[in-house]
């Protein structure tokens, strides 16, 4: 569905996105585009949504270059960052114009508008002006705008910014539902927890470079320089005695009622740990991986590339 081959983007002398290569397969699902402010997320989304041509390399969406390509633009929906909408304008009128810009008209437009509003849960409030809507409602209308023409690819730039927790969860549910229906959702955010809640598949950008791509577990396994930390809860001394005999052990730290191991290749040590615990050779009560989450992966990657 999406492929970038050494695609880069320059804003004059400033490099917005270094040569980047990745592919996203066809079909539904959510991919999180993660990175701090200025990482190049919006630049990447501008390339994908056909707003700008790449300064170098090649961008292909649905097998074609998206820049000023109606055939591609008709199949993708964009929800840009920001919340500013003409305050005195009614949402349904705005949606009608956006639908017409996509080439819809007459009954097809009415049906598409009703379906999109139903999907985002705004069917009974679309007659309101934007000034009378909450931020969450406006965000839903912006999403409805992107859904009008039945896109196969939905691109959202920082859609959770400024939303309260309830609206955020509601939007996440909605995106999951769309992904379940077969829409490929690409959502950017600089907040780790948002992406972690939404999806496991991420593209990690930092300073205009793509640092990693895949699931959190896959990326974590590639980080050889950073041994995985496991907290074993039980009798610390017995656990430590067993741990020091393991060849994968890189470091060991004693805590009250637990021991924290830093291990290389946890895939090797975990089966042995399981067998030892099952055979009663170690008094293990709990096992917690401490840095197999997105937060840790992000910290390690950005530290390595800083």
Show the binding pattern over residues 169-208: x = contacts another protein (CB under 8 A), - = does not: -----------xxxx-------------------------
CB of 75 to another protein, least distance (A): 7
State the DSSP string of 166-214.
Answer: HHHHHHHHHHHHHHHTT-EEEEEES-HHHHHHH-SEEEEEETTEEEEEE
Residue identified by tokens 């809860």 is 233
Q: Is 56 in the site for another protein (CB under 8 A)?
A: no
Nearest CA-CA partner of 98 in 52, 25, 148: 148
Q: Is 49 in the site for another protein (CB under 8 A)?
A: yes
Q: Is 118 in the site for another protein (CB under 8 A)?
A: no
| 4, 8, 33, 75: residue in contact with another protein (rule CB under 8 A) | 75
CB of 170 to another protein, least distance (A): 21
| 6, 58, 63, 68: residue in contact with another protein (rule CB under 8 A) | 68
Other residues' Cβ atoms within 10 Å of the Cβ of residue 14: 9
Q: Is 144 in the site for another protein (CB under 8 A)?
A: no
Other residues' Cβ atoms within 10 Å of the Cβ of residue 86: 11
Other residues' Cβ atoms within 10 Å of the Cβ of residue 201: 16
CB 202 within 8 Å of CB 41: no
Residues that bind another protein (CB under 8 A): 11, 27-28, 42, 45-46, 49-52, 68, 70, 73-78, 80-82, 84-86, 89, 93, 97-106, 108-109, 111-112, 145, 149-150, 152, 157, 180-183
């Amino acid at each position: 569905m999406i492929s970038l081959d050494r695609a880069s983007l320059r804003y004059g002398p400033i490099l917005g996105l270094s040569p980047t290569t990745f592919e996203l397969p066809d079909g539904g699902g959510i991919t999180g585009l993660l990175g701090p402010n200025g990482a190049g997320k919006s630049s990447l989304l501008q390339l994908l949504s056909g707003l700008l041509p790449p300064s170098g390399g090649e961008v292909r969406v649905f097998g074609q270059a998206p820049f000023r390509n109606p055939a591609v633009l008709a199949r993708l929906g964009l929800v840009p960052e920001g919340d500013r909408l003409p305050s005195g304008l009614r949402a349904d009128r705005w949606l009608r114009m956006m639908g017409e810009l996509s080439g819809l008209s007459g009954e097809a437009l009415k049906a598409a508008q009703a379906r999109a509003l139903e999907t985002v849960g705004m069917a009974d409030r679309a007659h309101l002006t934007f000034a009378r809507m909450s931020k969450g409602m406006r965000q839903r209308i912006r999403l409805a705008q992107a859904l009008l023409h039945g896109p196969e690819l939905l691109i959202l730039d920082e859609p959770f910014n400024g939303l309260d927790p309830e609206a955020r969860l509601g939007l996440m549910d909605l995106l999951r539902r769309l992904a379940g229906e077969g829409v490929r959702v690409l959502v950017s955010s600089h907040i780790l927890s948002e992406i972690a809640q939404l999806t496991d598949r991420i593209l990690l950008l930092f300073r205009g470079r793509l640092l990693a791509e895949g699931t959190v577990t896959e990326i974590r396994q590639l980080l050889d320089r950073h041994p995985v930390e496991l907290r074993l809860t039980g009798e610390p001394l017995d656990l430590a005695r067993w741990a020091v005999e393991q060849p994968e052990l890189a470091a060991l730290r004693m805590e009250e009622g637990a021991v924290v191991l830093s291990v290389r290749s946890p895939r090797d040590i975990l089966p042995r740990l399981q067998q030892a615990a099952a055979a009663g050779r170690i008094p293990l009560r709990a096992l917690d991986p401490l840095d197999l989450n997105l937060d840790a992966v992000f910290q390690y990657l950005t530290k390595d590339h800083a």
